[in-house]
Chain A
């Protein structure tokens, strides 16, 4: 396929995934802000949410204070934030338009109608309910997009590039959410006591929609080391780093099989996957959770660059 089309598919999937993740992040912050024990160390949950997207500096240039109003505006609607939900959907649709021929009708209709629906939301006087509806629609768009890709696309390079975008973006987001709270996940850190800890840990799980699945897997209370293990090392958790990298490797291998040629991105992805698979929980905390996650975020971004060099140039 055309390199430019592969590039558009890859970014289309990344932006759809990013929009969904941001919607979940806003929902989690909204929930946390409604709990009695919200703030910790002077940072409120709204500022934390922005930090989770890695764009706190940009936010601070535009707003004086992190409140629900400013953060929702910034994360959901601002055109000055290239990763806001609105911008993500605009870019996703522009990419979709430029690769119409590589998308199935179901996928295009999902993107196009979802984009039209969410575009009409009137921002300044948004009620809580309207915000919640908006976020639901964004999640729905992403789910339908994913589902229609899964159910209607030919399993060829177009599909593989699309999936690569999804899983690289997803791994990035999960790692960022964990890094944000790496300190409260460290088991050696003195407990804040009772419900304060619970809200911090559950916040992480909620932001990646994993609270219920955690209970299914561990049948236990929230424990910080288990939260880390769940989101990094558990292959059955679809948003865990190891699960994302299984999929990344799979799709890259499918590409190399179809094209009859291996390259740097296949080697790099396999190396990252085996590193994750070889890691144990005590090992993770010995390296330092924050350090581990920060270096993962960099490696993941590098893999994206390598894919671009190999195929999208």
Chain B
């Protein structure tokens, strides 16, 4: 098995040639070297409740995932459309609520959503941008269509892996890069900073001060926070570094107080301000929301965006796109049953062994049932939860996820993948660097790609469309005879 399945997509030919050309022992060595690099650089993440492995690295697969330029063009158009609609939706539900009055999205799903923040009602944000940074998880089932799996509109993570994966891939395989023109992703921090600055409050100076706010080194994504702050050239702050005076946010510096205009916060809503949200939170800044409401600071992402990445709202996304933009959605939704609707619930309960059932509020691959991979007992346990709280769940078919050749212990084999591109919305436009984070389920047959569940990552290449040429490149056949000889 070559790991490419039956028909090798033209885009993968270079990769196939490269793999055929490579000594497996050498690949193994490079795979080890990649891991060593990641560990030495300290690209780690913490797993909550796992004291033994306080810091782990996410496995990196040396075989890149490839998309062609035209595939990417479609995808990025679809992403722009989707995120534009998401922003319009959020501005609407915290404003006039037209989509609810039009009867398209049920009022209770919005107003009774635990991520809905009444504090945001009637607030005017700079350029109506709520989701400055979105991570949209997409999958493919065939060569044509992209499906959106999840809209991450709160504090999506993983972009540091997109950048580091590229870096490590280039360090280990410089020759591979010479042979293909791969679109660069390393300008992401520049694009992010430009977007963030464009959304500074009106009262901010011409050179607004941007900071990145982290819960601290114990947070699972701390590496990413410090990495990004470094690349952006902005201060990495914790709540205790900031304070609010007369509805203006300042940071404590060695030269005295300094005004802060934009906070890229990687900390959840409920920890932002103990005076408004959780009073026991030590992570936030007392008075932040008052400064926010006064229009003296921009938060990215805005408060209350969680409504939009709720899985129940997700099911309405195609309608949301049509309602605000008057266009057909370019990206598809995975067909989804809303368990809150009795007909759907009945269907789901009857077909549990075939379906994937997810908690509406869940994330990270926790609290889900993968029907085909579950025991009878697990299914029955889940059935009880579902009956007790149908509103809390949605269900989807187990799609035939596309696979990508992946270097595993025995060699190269196909593994399921998804892709998280990062979509930046600024005052002027939407920016997406060509690529994203490809996550891969390393276990054979597994559909779960989350890092907390043993998933890995890959570099993601957007390359020029290949010229469809029936005859294989000469170097391939040559290399095969070489490897047989050796």
Give me the interface of A with B, judged by CB distance under 8 Å: 1-6, 94, 97-98, 100-101, 105, 108-109, 112-113, 116, 157, 161, 255, 259, 311-313
- The 6 A-B residue pairs with the shortest CB-CB distance, nearest first, are A100-B226, A101-B230, A311-B254, A3-B252, A97-B217, A101-B229
The interface-forming segment of B37-45, B350-358, B459-467 is B37-45
Partner among A1, A157, A312 whose Cβ is within 8 Å of the Cβ of B235: A1
User: In the docked arrangement, what's the CA distance between A113 and B241, Å?
Assistant: 29
Interface residues, chain B, with chain A CB atoms under 8 Å away = 39-42, 216-217, 222, 226-227, 229-230, 235-238, 240-241, 251-255
Q: Is the CB of A94 within 8 A of B254?
A: no
Q: Are B217 and A98 touching (Cβ within 8 A)?
A: yes
Known contacts being A94-B217, A101-B226, is A113 close to B40, with CB within 8 Å? yes
Residue on A with the closest CB to B234? Answer: A101
Report the separation of the CA atoms of residues A105 and B226 in the bound assembly, to the nearest whole angstrom. 12
Report which residue of B39, B40, B230, B255 has the largest number of chain A beta carbons within 10 angstroms of its beta carbon. Answer: B255
Complex formed: what's the CA distance from A113 to B238 in Å? 26
Residue of A with least CB distance to B233: A101
Q: Is the CB of B252 within 8 A of A2?
A: yes
**A residues near B229, Cβ cutoff 8 Å:** 100-101
Most buried by B among A2, A5, A161: A2
| A2 vs B209: C-alpha distance when bound (angstroms) | 13
The residue of chain B having its C-beta at the shortest distance from the C-beta of A97 within the complex is B217
Is B253 a contact partner of A2 (Cβ separation < 8 A)? yes
Q: A259, B255: Cβ atoms under 8 Å? A: yes
Instruction: Return chain A residues, CB-CB under 8 Å to B236.
Output: 100-101
Q: How far is the CA of A259 from the CA of B255 in the complex (A)?
A: 7
Contact A4 to B252, CB < 8 A, known contacts A98-B216, A101-B236: yes
9 other contacts beyond A2-B237, A109-B42, with CB at 8 A cut-off? Answer: A2-B253, A3-B254, A4-B238, A94-B217, A101-B230, A112-B42, A113-B40, A116-B39, A311-B254
B31 CB, nearest partner CB in chain A, Å: 20
A93 CB, nearest partner CB in chain B, Å: 10
User: What A residues does B39 contact at CB under 8 A?
Assistant: 116
CA–CA, A105 and B230, complex, Å: 11
Among residues of B, the one whose C-beta sits closest to the C-beta of A255 is B254
For chains A and B in complex, what number of residue pairs have CB atoms within 8 angstroms?
57
Q: How many angstroms between the C-alpha atoms of A2 and B252 in the bound complex?
A: 6
Q: Is the CB of B254 within 8 A of A259?
A: yes
Interface centre among A4, A94, A101, A311 (most CB of B within 10 A): A101
Chain A nearest Cβ from B144, distance in angstroms: 43
Given contacts A2-B253, A94-B217, A112-B42, A101 and B235 within 8 Å (CB-CB): yes
Say whether B241 contacts A2, CB under 8 Å.
yes
If A3-B253, A4-B240, A100-B236 touch, whether A109 touches B230 (CB-CB below 8 Å) is: no
| Other-chain contact of B222, A5, A97, A112, A312 (Cβ < 8 Å) | A97
B252: chain A residues at CB < 8 Å are 2-4, 313
Q: Which residues of A contact B227 (CB under 8 A)?
A: 100
- Looking at the assembled complex, report how far the CB atom of A92 sits from the nearest CB atom of chain B, in whole angstroms: 13
A4 CB, min distance to chain B CBs, angstroms: 5
A73 CA to B236 CA, complexed, in Å: 37
Which residue in chain A gives the minimum CB-CB distance to B242?
Answer: A2
Min distance, Cβ A53 to any Cβ of chain B, angstroms? 27
Closest chain A CB from B148 CB (angstroms): 33
C-alpha spacing A255/B255, complex, angstroms: 10
Chain B residues, Cβ within 8 Å of A94: 217
Minimal beta-carbon separation of A39 from chain B (angstroms):
44
The distance in angstroms between the C-alpha atoms of A113 and B41, with both chains bound, is 9
Q: A283–B141 Cα gap in the complex (Å)?
A: 86
CA distance A5 to B237 in the complex (A): 9
Find out whether the CB atom of A2 lies under 8 angstroms from the CB atom of B41: no
CB contact under 8 A between A1 and B217, given known A109-B41, A113-B40: no
Contacts of B235 in A (CB 8 A): 1-2, 5, 101
Cα–Cα distance between A104 and B238 once the two chains are bound (Å): 21
Report A10 CB to chain B, min CB distance, Å: 11
Residue contact A112 to B40, C-beta cutoff 8 Å: yes
Q: How far, in whole Å, are A37 and B146 apart by their CA atoms in the complex?
A: 80
Could you tell me the distance between the alpha carbons of A157 and B227 in the complex, rounded to whole angstroms? 21
Provide the residues of chain B in CB contact with A100, threshold 8 Å.
Answer: 42, 226-227, 229-230, 236
Complex Cα distance, B256 from A312, in Å, reads 10
Contact B241 A4 (CB under 8 A): yes
A and B contact pairs by CB, cutoff 8 A, 23 listed: A1-B254, A2-B237, A2-B241, A2-B254, A3-B252, A3-B253, A4-B238, A6-B254, A97-B42, A97-B217, A98-B216, A98-B217, A101-B226, A101-B235, A105-B41, A108-B41, A109-B40, A109-B42, A112-B41, A113-B40, A157-B254, A161-B254, A259-B254
- Min CB gap B222→A, angstroms: 7
Q: Once bound together, how far apart are the Cα atoms of A4 and B40, in whole Å?
A: 25
In angstroms, Cα B253 to Cα A311, docked, is 8
Residues of A contacting B217 in the complex (Cβ-Cβ under 8 angstroms): 94, 97-98
Is A97 a contact partner of B254 (Cβ separation < 8 A)?
Answer: no
Residue of B nearest to A96 (CB): B42
- Of chain B, the residue at the smallest CB distance from A310 is B254
Closest to A260 in B: B255
Residues of B within 8 A of A3 (CB): 241, 252-254
Contacts of A109 in B (CB 8 A): 40-42
Q: Which residues of A contact B42 (CB under 8 A)?
A: 97, 100, 108-109, 112
Closest partner residue, chain B, to A113 (CB atom):
B40
CB proximity of B36 to chain A, nearest CB, Å: 10
User: Closest CB-CB distance, B52 to chain A, in whole Å?
Assistant: 14
A161 to B254, CA, bound (A): 10
Output the least CB separation between B241 and chain A (Å): 5
In the complex, how many angstroms separate the beta carbon of B369 from the nearest chain A beta carbon? 37
B226, B254, B255: which contacts A312 (Cβ < 8 A)? B254
